[in-house]
């Protein structure tokens, strides 16, 4: 009896021999982007050792595009995309995709079910790349996206590590600008309202605040944590006034928290800026219409989304774009006027 012909090796066997996922093995064999050199070399050795011959039909399927990208936000807040910051980011992402053929999929992915939806979407190859926003702590969202062996662009750095592709703003430098401006205005007891402490953006802005005080020879007064919302700023400001009734300035790590702080100061009979100057961060439309209009650190929110989209498209097309840090600048208004200016004469923008 003649021996049966030897069965050809499968892609799963190549992946097992190389010690990588089936998707990584497929992408390495088909020479698609976002596969590390180590994985490519391991797969190449396994292919040679096993005598694997790629299936032409499978190759065509693996290299095809579906024409969609995902903007996944690590939040379960239903009204998130109504938030001015994320609304601006989304507008920017759409603008960045304008010259491409990619459709945009928006996905809230902080809950277990949200992460499962993202995982199913990526495993079924219904997207060509992912943009991630608002990661907190050791959020597994980044790992889920990277395991899919798709190009991943981070909007803002995660708390730990530095991904291959990301777009961020100079949060640390912007916060330092805010404190330097308050010091030039004669303020000496400057408190801070920060965002969630398990986010890189909060850590960076608090570092900038501390640096600004150190450079001015001033001690850190106190820091109260908010959650980047107006309500969070309200609660934090109440705590600050209770602990330090003699404070003369507040730097809030978002415009929303600064607006909440302004409301509390009015309720306690504190005049802004005469008694307490206030500076925010973002420079969204709400800052222009607060009472009084808010001095704030301007960050290019729409450009952040636009550059994220452009970077992702470049990565999908096989390029290796460099990470990008966007600059910040100070916009001076009545809540913290420039040194020597009257509160009503400082509504123009000033770059620092």
Question: Residues 71, 75, 81, 83: what is their CA dihedral angle, to the nearest 10 degrees?
Answer: -130
- pTM metric for this prediction: 0.77
Please report which confidence band the pLDDT of residue 56 belongs to, taking 50, 70 and 90 as the band edges: low
Q: Which fold has domain 171-300+330-345?
A: Rossmann fold (3.40.50)
The better pLDDT of the pair 282, 138 is held by 282
**What pLDDT score does 64 carry?**
66
| Same fold flag, 68-169+302-327 and 171-300+330-345 | yes
Average pLDDT over residues 122-143: 78
Q: Picking from 123-132, 133-142, 265-274, 278-287, which range would have the lowest pLDDT averaged per residue?
A: 133-142
**What pLDDT score does 58 carry?**
53
**What pLDDT score does 104 carry?**
94
Q: Which fold has domain 68-169+302-327?
A: Rossmann fold (3.40.50)
* Rounded percentage of the chain residues whose pLDDT exceeds 90: 51
pLDDT tens for 148-159 read 778 889 999 888
Please report which confidence band the pLDDT of residue 38 belongs to, taking 50, 70 and 90 as the band edges: confident
pLDDT tens for 89-115 read 999 999 999 888 889 998 877 667 777
pLDDT tens for 315-337 read 888 888 999 999 999 999 999 99
**What pLDDT score does 135 carry?**
72
Region for residue 132 given its phi and psi (left: phi exceeds 0; alpha: psi -120 to 50; beta: otherwise): beta
- Whole-angstrom distance, CA of residue 323 vs CA of residue 166: 5
Please report which confidence band the pLDDT of residue 141 belongs to, taking 50, 70 and 90 as the band edges: confident
- Chain centroid to Cα 187, Å, comes to 31
Residue 25 in this model has a pLDDT that exceeds 50: yes
- Whole-angstrom distance, CA of residue 239 vs CA of residue 227: 14
The better pLDDT of the pair 338, 267 is held by 267
Could you state, in order of their start, the residue ranges of all structural domains in the chain?
11-51, 68-169+302-327, 171-300+330-345
């Amino acid at each position: 009896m003649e021996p049966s012909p030897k069965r050809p090796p499968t892609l799963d066997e190549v992946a097992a021999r190389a010690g990588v996922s089936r998707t990584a093995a497929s992408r390495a064999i088909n020479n698609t982007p976002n596969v590390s050199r180590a994985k490519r070399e391991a797969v190449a050795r396994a292919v040679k050792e096993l005598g694997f011959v790629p299936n032409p039909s499978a190759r065509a399927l693996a290299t095809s595009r579906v024409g969609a990208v995902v903007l996944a936000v690590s939040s379960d807040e239903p009204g998130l995309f109504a938030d001015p910051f994320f609304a601006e980011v989304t507008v920017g992402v759409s603008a960045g995709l304008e010259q491409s053929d990619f459709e945009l999929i928006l996905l809230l992915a902080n809950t277990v079910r949200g992460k499962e939806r993202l995982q199913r979407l990526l495993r079924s190859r219904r997207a060509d790349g992912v943009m991630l926003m608002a990661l907190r702590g050791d959020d597994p969202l980044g790992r889920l996206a990277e395991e899919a062996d798709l190009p991943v662009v981070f909007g803002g750095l995660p708390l730990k590590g530095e991904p291959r592709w990301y777009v961020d703003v100079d949060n640390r430098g912007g916060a330092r600008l805010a404190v330097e401006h308050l010091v030039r205005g004669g303020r000496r007891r400057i408190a801070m309202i920060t965002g969630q402490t398990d986010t890189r953006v909060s850590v960076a802005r608090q570092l900038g605040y501390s640096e600004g005080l150190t450079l001015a020879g001033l001690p850190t007064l106190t820091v109260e944590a908010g959650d980047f919302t107006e309500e969070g700023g309200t609660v934090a400001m109440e705590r600050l006034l209770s602990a330090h009734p003699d404070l003369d300035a507040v730097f809030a790590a978002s415009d929303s928290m600064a607006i909440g702080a302004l409301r509390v100061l009015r309720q306690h009979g504190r005049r802004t800026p005469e008694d307490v100057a206030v500076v925010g961060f973002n420079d969204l439309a709400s800052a222009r219409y607060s009472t009084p209009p808010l001095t704030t650190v301007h960050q290019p929110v729409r450009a952040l989304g636009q550059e994220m989209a452009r970077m992702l498209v470049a990565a999908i097309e096989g390029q290796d774009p460099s990470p990008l840090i966007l600059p910040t600048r100070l916009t001076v208004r009545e809540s913290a006027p420039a040194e020597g200016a009257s509160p009503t004469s400082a509504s123009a923008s000033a770059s620092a």
